[in-house]
Chain A
Amino acid sequence: MAGANGTVTNGSRESGKEITFLEAIRQAMFEEMERDPAVLLIGEDVGVYGGAFKTSEGLLERFGWERVIDTPISESAIIGAACGMSYLGLRPICEMQFIDFIVCAFNQITNFVAKGHYLWNAPAPMVIRGPSGGGVHGGPFHSANPEMYFVHTPGLKVVYPSTPYDAKGLLKAAVRDNNPVLFFEHKFLYRRIKGEVPAEDYTLPIGKALVRREGRHLTILSYAAMVHTSLEAADALAKEGIESEVIDLRTLLPLDEETILNSVRKTNKCLVVHEDTKTGGIAGEIAAILCEKAFGHLDGPLVRVTALDTPVPYAPTLEEHFLPNAKKVFAAAKELARY
Chain B
Amino acid sequence: MVKDMTGELTRQQYLDLYYYMRLNRAVEDTMVKLFRQNKIVGGLYSSLGQEAISVGTCYALGKKDWIAPMIRNIGALLVKGVPPRDIFMQHMAKYDSPTKGKDGTSHFGDLDNLHIISPISMLGDLIPVMAGVAIGGRYLGQKIVAMTWIGDGGSSTGVFHEGLNFAATQKAPFVLILENNLWAYSTPVRRQVPLENLADRAKAYGIDSYIVDGNNVVAVYNVAREAVERARAGEGPILIEAKTFRRLGHAQHDPAEYVPKEMRAYWEARDPIALYEKFLAAEKLLDAAGKKAIDDKLDTLLAAEREFAENSPMPPPELAETGVYCTGDDCHQIRAKWERPVSEVTPPKSSVKPVWTVPGFGSGKGSGGADAPIHFGDTPKPAEMPAHNPQPIRKPAKAPAKPATKVTGKKAVKATAASASRKARR
A-to-B contact residues, CB < 8 Å = 8, 34, 37-38, 40, 47-48, 50, 58, 60-67, 69-72, 74-92, 107-108, 111-112, 115-123, 125, 154-155, 157, 178-179
Report whether B334 and A76 are in contact in the complex, using a CB–CB cutoff of 8 Å: no
Given A65-B361, A66-B345: A122 and B136 within 8 A (CB)?
Answer: no
Minimum CB–CB distance for B320 against chain A, Å: 9
In whole angstroms, how far apart are the Cα atoms of A185 and B376 in the complex? 35
Given A64-B345, A66-B345: A123 and B332 within 8 A (CB)?
Answer: yes
Report whether A84 and B111 are in contact in the complex, using a CB–CB cutoff of 8 Å: no
Given A48-B356, A80-B159: A85 and B325 within 8 A (CB)?
Answer: no
Minimum CB–CB distance for A88 against chain B, Å: 4
* A-contact 0/1 string along B325-343, CB 8 Å cutoff: 1111001101111100010
Q: A81-B129, A125-B334 are in contact. List 19 more A-B contacts (CB 8 A).
A: A37-B345, A48-B354, A65-B352, A66-B139, A66-B345, A77-B165, A81-B131, A84-B128, A84-B129, A84-B135, A85-B132, A85-B136, A87-B129, A88-B336, A108-B125, A112-B129, A117-B323, A118-B102, A122-B111
List chain B residues, Cβ under 8 A from A64: 345, 350-352
List chain A residues, Cβ under 8 A from B356: 48
Report whether A69 and B362 are in contact in the complex, using a CB–CB cutoff of 8 Å: yes
In whole angstroms, how far apart are the Cα atoms of A150 and B286 in the complex? 56
| CB pairs A–B below 8 angstroms (25 shown) | A37-B342, A38-B336, A60-B354, A63-B351, A65-B362, A67-B139, A69-B362, A71-B169, A74-B165, A76-B128, A77-B163, A78-B166, A80-B126, A80-B159, A80-B162, A85-B132, A85-B139, A86-B132, A89-B334, A107-B122, A120-B109, A154-B324, A155-B324, A178-B328, A178-B332
Minimum CB–CB distance for A125 against chain B, Å: 6
Interface size range on B against A:
35 or more
List chain B residues, Cβ under 8 A from A120: 98-99, 102-103, 107-109, 118
Q: Pick from B166, B342, B354: contact of A71, CB below 8 A.
A: B166
Question: Is chain A's binding surface mostly helix, strand, loop or mixed?
Answer: mixed
In the complex formed, the residue of B with least CB distance to A60 is: B354
In whole angstroms, how far apart are the Cα atoms of A121 and B327 in the complex? 12
Minimum CB–CB distance for B99 against chain A, Å: 5
In whole angstroms, how far apart are the Cα atoms of A267 and B61 in the complex? 64
Within 8 A of A (CB), among B84-130: 98-99, 102-103, 107-109, 111, 117-118, 120, 122, 125-130
In whole angstroms, how far apart are the Cα atoms of A335 and B334 in the complex? 51
List chain A residues, Cβ under 8 A from B324: 117-118, 154-155
In whole angstroms, how far apart are the Cα atoms of A90 and B356 in the complex? 26
List chain A residues, Cβ under 8 A from B83: none
- Does chain A have a CB within 8 A of B6? no
In the complex formed, the residue of A with least CB distance to B327 is: A178
Given A80-B131, A84-B117, A123-B331: A118 and B323 within 8 A (CB)?
Answer: yes
- Does chain A have a CB within 8 A of B188? no
Report whether A72 and B166 are in contact in the complex, using a CB–CB cutoff of 8 Å: yes
Q: Pick from A38, A87, A118: contact of B117, CB below 8 A.
A: A87
In whole angstroms, how far apart are the Cα atoms of A83 and B117 in the complex? 11
Q: Which of B102, B130, B162 has the most CB of A within 10 A?
A: B162
List chain A residues, Cβ under 8 A from B391: none
Report whether A8 and B129 are in contact in the complex, using a CB–CB cutoff of 8 Å: no
List chain A residues, Cβ under 8 A from B332: 123, 178
- Does chain A have a CB within 8 A of B346? yes
List chain A residues, Cβ under 8 A from B146: 84
In the complex formed, the residue of B with least CB distance to A59 is: B354
- Does chain A have a CB within 8 A of B426? no
Report whether B352 and A60 are in contact in the complex, using a CB–CB cutoff of 8 Å: yes
List chain A residues, Cβ under 8 A from B362: 65, 69-70
List chain B residues, Cβ under 8 A from A48: 354-356
